[in-house]
Structure 1
């Protein structure tokens, strides 16, 4: 078995183990997640994500079995890493490669984590619109994240295959992100609404399944008089999955603007998704205070899309992954600080 499979397999095993522990410790209790628990969970996942950055800095070459200069040059070209290798110094070139690989992962993680905040706005709206009791939020989010991991895996490696086969698809991704960013900016002040009865997912599920009219504890399915029903809680799970699918259309191309290595895209995506659940419980009651965040995210998408469209020129100008990370963090920091310094005025009834 190659080091590549061992590296990726080890990562998947770790994720499965952590999700199993999460489900075993928290989902059976059906109690609301406290602010303290959310803070601890968030700290744990951020620590894991940063620890993985260190892993890539030290052992990143094992991901693609890079043990000689020829293999290093091949992988660098294949994944379009914006680095300059030193032909006469394999050790120095390898250090440059591992540093860039880790930085691409960290930048992708920050981008995905930031875009996940917009997802939280919608999740809060979904839970409130469907009247889900707070004690069931965690269960829905955990199972939603498991589904999201599978979908992201398929999306990411399909996207990587398309990029490898059709390089011009990067420009389509770029135009799409610029359009999405501009559209988000134009509608940044609009209040989103969800009609549970007329939601696309609800209509589809109701057409093919029997839906029980009420919540049945924390159950997704219910049997009564010999007939099996899906519960409203399962409908909420389907809506959450559908929502993540829509957000993935934005976020995955955004990370491909940072790195073309599908493994790095997957690693950064998954760590951000796993941290999304705990971040939800941290921000659920204060998310409305960050009213400039949508503006910041719109600028972020436009920047990433423009970077994808202009990557050849930016590479020639010496625009590196480090510069991207600085711009991304600056946009996010400015939007958060502006939200706190210039709070939204209360609406006059």
Structure 2
């Protein structure tokens, strides 16, 4: 897939414009989001991704379009599982409801920039060393097994401040309280960081850690850097609204980890087969390609859609039959989602009166 430089530039500018419009429309006046508002934005971002995929199909063919949709669905589904950690971070930092949208947006922009660097590096390495696919395959299978063990053991996801945030707190003074949407304030002639900036960094850094499994996963579906980048970008851009819309449903997706484990294991096997097909390692078949069947993108897309559908339906049915499953999954609750503008105004007023004193979460 030969993508000219001007197409890359137009695509990046397009993403910047959309993110800028989202930031201005939603955050120029901080407010508690409503159900209708979030739903419209989710539909908009999904429609935008679908339109892009159709464009790829018309201009580059069905194979590349299938690779984009498979990558997009995989990245989006992995992101849904990550939303729970975002809830924990928001709760740990007691982020005011009216500012959660901005925190997510800035944090995700940080993650998108860092992921772009990872994608460029990954593409360069893959182009020179095909045996890297063996490492990706092993890592994805290992991650799948870890997800199953964690889900079977009923372990709750925990979050603690890592080295990056501890370094920031050590290098710069941080206030205990929020100061509206400000990321820095001047107190007695001295510049202080606020918890708003710290939590933005936390979201961005956490999402970078999630990229350790999502980037290898999407490279297992397409080796086209342009498709890898756009699939990641569309998934991340729509993640913010999904955080509010699906927040109340996260605890009901009790089998999500199992579904994601199946997807990662499937892509891991697909990568291993591809690595054997492109083999250059001298100790495997004398350094010659191994004639193994490869999994086509059509089958990959069908498996991804099927696994996600089965996981969602079985989770909702199980929770309906046994409500205690949802209660056992997590004590973290989603942010309140207003159904009307009046209710949003009331939530914002209550939130303004709340005490948003933040005690630093403990590090490792």
Q: Structure 2 length normalisation: TM-score?
A: 0.81
Offset, 1:23:
1.3
Instruction: Report the equivalent of 1:309.
Output: 272
In structure 2, the CA distance between the partners of 1:199 and 1:260, relative to structure 1 (3 Å rule), is closer
Instruction: Report the equivalent of 1:171.
Output: 134
Instruction: Report the equivalent of 2:121.
Output: 158
CA distance in 1, matches of 2:291, 2:92: 46
In structure 2, the CA distance between the partners of 1:111 and 1:315, relative to structure 1 (3 Å rule), is farther
Would you say the 8 A contact 2:136–2:268 is kept in 1?
Answer: yes
Q: Within 5 Å, give how 1:173-188 maps onto structure 2.
A: 173-188=136-151
SS at match of 2:76: helix
Offset, 1:192:
1.9
Cα deviation 1:140-175 (Å, max 9, x = unaligned): 111112112211111101100000111101110110
CA distance in 2, matches of 1:201, 1:119: 19
CA distance in 2, matches of 1:193, 1:157: 30
SS at match of 1:33: coil
Offset, 1:54:
1.2
Cα deviation 1:43-83 (Å, max 9, x = unaligned): 000001000111111222xxxxxxxxxxxxxxxxxxxxxxx
Offset, 1:283:
1.0
Match of 1:143 among 106, 113, 116: 106
CA distance in 1, matches of 2:96, 2:159: 17
Match of 1:110 among 73, 76, 89: 73
SS at match of 1:228: strand
Offset, 1:202:
3.3
Instruction: Report the equivalent of 2:297.
Output: 321
- Do structure 1's residue 339 and structure 2's residue 311 form an aligned pair? no
Calculate the aligned-residue CA RMSD, in Å. Answer: 1.8
SS at match of 2:41: helix
Between 1:233-242 and 1:314-323, the stretch displaced more is 314-323
Would you say the 8 A contact 2:67–2:222 is kept in 1?
Answer: yes
Offset, 1:316:
4.9
- Do structure 1's residue 261 and structure 2's residue 237 form an aligned pair? no
Q: Within 5 Å, give how 1:178-217 maps onto structure 2.
A: 178-188=141-151, 189-195=154-160, 199-217=162-180
CA distance in 2, matches of 1:3, 1:294: 35
Instruction: Report the equivalent of 1:121.
Output: 84
Offset, 1:303:
1.1
**Higher RCO (Cα < 8 Å, 6 or more apart):** 2
CA distance in 2, matches of 1:315, 1:152: 34
CA distance in 2, matches of 1:222, 1:59: 49
CA distance in 2, matches of 1:153, 1:54: 23
Q: Structure 1 length normalisation: TM-score?
A: 0.84
Offset, 1:136:
0.8
Instruction: Report the equivalent of 1:32.
Output: 32
Aligned residues: 308
Offset, 1:299:
1.4
Instruction: Report the equivalent of 1:272.
Output: 235
CA distance in 2, matches of 1:248, 1:286: 23
- Do structure 1's residue 58 and structure 2's residue 34 form an aligned pair? no
Offset, 1:274:
0.6
CA distance in 2, matches of 1:238, 1:127: 12
Instruction: Report the equivalent of 1:247.
Output: 210
Instruction: Report the equivalent of 2:346.
Output: none
Runs of 4+ aligned structure 1 residues displaced above 3 Å come to 198-202, 312-318
SS at match of 2:186: strand
Offset, 1:250:
0.7
